[in-house]
Structure 1
Amino acid sequence: MMTDFLKHLFPRVVLEKNLRLSYTFCLGGLAFTAFLLLLLSGLLLVVYYQPTPERAFASILFLEASVPGGAYLRSLHRMASHALLVLVFLHTLRVILTGAYQRPRQLNWVIGFALLCLSLFEAYTGYLLPMDQLAYWATQTGMELLATLPLGESLRRLLVPDGVGQNLSLLRFYALHIVILPLAVLLLCMLHFYRIRKQKGLLPYL
């Protein structure tokens, strides 16, 4: 799967006509590039961020005010997250409009939709981390809405067992945001690209 993943990123041959932007608008590739940018900028932010209710917001202020390029780095991470969501949504819309979800690509459609959902959840978990008023009340509203769904109350207790913004809930959001969800997205991306490579008859390149 790793070999097919790399071959998809660096194909041996590409037909000249398929280098046109209008072929797929490169939405999948751009989304994956935004994801890699998020990984890189996120790794740098981890150096300064402190995942505790008392220090989280102060660490953000320190990053922006005292670290050279810190404000730029945080803005880059935020803008890349917005770009990822927009690109994944547009990629999904293109697949729907062109009928690319039909046989024999149903499994890859499910994988792609799972990537969309995980990307949304990843953005949601990251929203709380700065621990400012906007982050707190947006997350609180999201948890209240979650509780109205079937099994929502159980999920809410799992995510915020001690209340939004408290020690345990912030730590769970932090772990989800920097480890669990990025790994899940990366593994699904590899599987997504593997399925594309496996269905070589559907590809404009090999």
Structure 2
Amino acid sequence: MFKDFFKHLFPRVVLKKNLRISYTFCLGGMAFTTFMVLVATGILLLFYYRPSPREAFDSILFLETSVFGGRYVRSLHRLASHGFLLLIFLHTLRVILTGAYAKPRQRNWVIGFSLLCLAIFEAYTGYLLPLDQLALWATQTGMKLLETAPLGNMAKGILVPDGVGETLSLIRFYALHIIVVPTLTLFLSLLHFYHIRKNKGVLPYL
């Protein structure tokens, strides 16, 4: 799987006709690139962010006002998250419109759709972390909507056991945002590229 992943990112030989972007528009590759930007900028933000209800917002203010390049890194992280969501959504739409979900690629379609869901959830978990008023009220709204879904109350109890913005909920959102969801996203991306290489005989661009 890792071998096919690196072959997909860095092919030894590329045919001239395969450089055309009229079929894929390079949306998948650009989405993965923005994911790598998110990982890199997120690691830098970890050096200053403090996942505590009393210190989270102050740590963001300190990062933006007192750390060299801090405002730039945080802005880049935020813009990359918007770009990642947009690109992965457009990539999913392209797959639907071109019928690239059809046999024998059904499994890869499920993997790709799971990546879209993870991207949305990753953005949601990260939205709370600054712990400003916008983050608190937006997360509150999300929890109210979650309650209306099947098993929503159970999911809310897991995500927010002590209230939005309180210690346990912030720690859980933080752990999900920096460890759980990125790890799942990277693993599914590896699997996604592996299946693309495996099914390259039915794809017009490989």
Measured against the shorter chain, the TM-score band is over 0.9
Distance 2:35 2:7 in 1: 18
TM-score (norm. length: structure 1): 0.98
Q: Which runs of 5+ in 1 are unaligned?
A: none
Partner Cα distance (2:91, 2:15) in 1: 21
Question: What residue in structure 1 maps to residue 83 of structure 2?
Answer: 83
Matched, 1:2 2:2: yes
Q: Distance in 2 between matches of 1:130 and 1:184?
A: 23
> Contact (CA 8 Å) 1:15, 1:205: kept in 2 or not?
no
Indicate the larger mover: 20-29 or 113-122. Answer: 20-29
2:133 — aligned with what?
A: 133
CA offset at residue 150 of structure 1?
Answer: 0.8
Q: Deviations over 1:151-188 (max 9, x none)?
A: 00000000000000000000000000000000000000
**Superposed displacement of residue 12, structure 1:** 2.1
Name the CA distance, whole Å, in 2 between partners of 1:196 and 1:150.
34
What is the CA–CA distance in structure 2 between the aligned matches of 1:92 and 1:200, rounded to whole Å? Answer: 18
What residue number does 2:201 align with? 201
Indicate conservation of the 8 Å contact 2:23/2:205, yes or no.
Answer: no
For residue 98 of structure 2, what is the amino acid of its counterpart?
Answer: T
Question: Aligned partners of 1:112, 1:161: CA distance in 2, in Å?
Answer: 31
CA distance in 2: counterparts of 1:106 and 1:187, whole angstroms? 18
Aligned residue in 1 for 2:18: 18
Aligned positions of 1:29-178 closer than 5 A: 29-178=29-178
| Aligned twin of 1:190 | 190
Contact (CA 8 Å) 1:159, 1:172: kept in 2 or not? yes
Structure 1 residues 35-44 or 6-15, which shifts more? 6-15
Aligned residues: 206
Q: Which amino acid in structure 1 is aligned with residue 31 of structure 2?
A: A
Q: Secondary structure at the match of 1:108?
A: helix
Identity %: 70
The whole-number CA distance in structure 2 between the counterparts of 1:153 and 1:205 is 45
CA contact (8 A) 1:129 1:173 kept: yes
1:204 shift after superposition: 4.8
Aligned AA for 1:37?
V
1 CA distance for matches of 2:66 and 2:200? 51
How high is the TM-score relative to the length of structure 2? 0.98
- Closer, same or farther in 2 for the Cα pair 1:149/1:120, shift >3 Å? same
Deviations 1:25-79 (A, max 9, x none): 1000000000000000000000000000000000000000000000000000000
Which sections of structure 2, spanning at least 5 residues, go unmatched?
none
Task: Please provide the CA RMSD for this pair.
Answer: 1.0
* Counterpart-to-counterpart distance in 1, 2:161 and 2:185: 25
1:67 corresponds to which letter in structure 2?
V
Q: What letter is aligned with 2:30? A: L
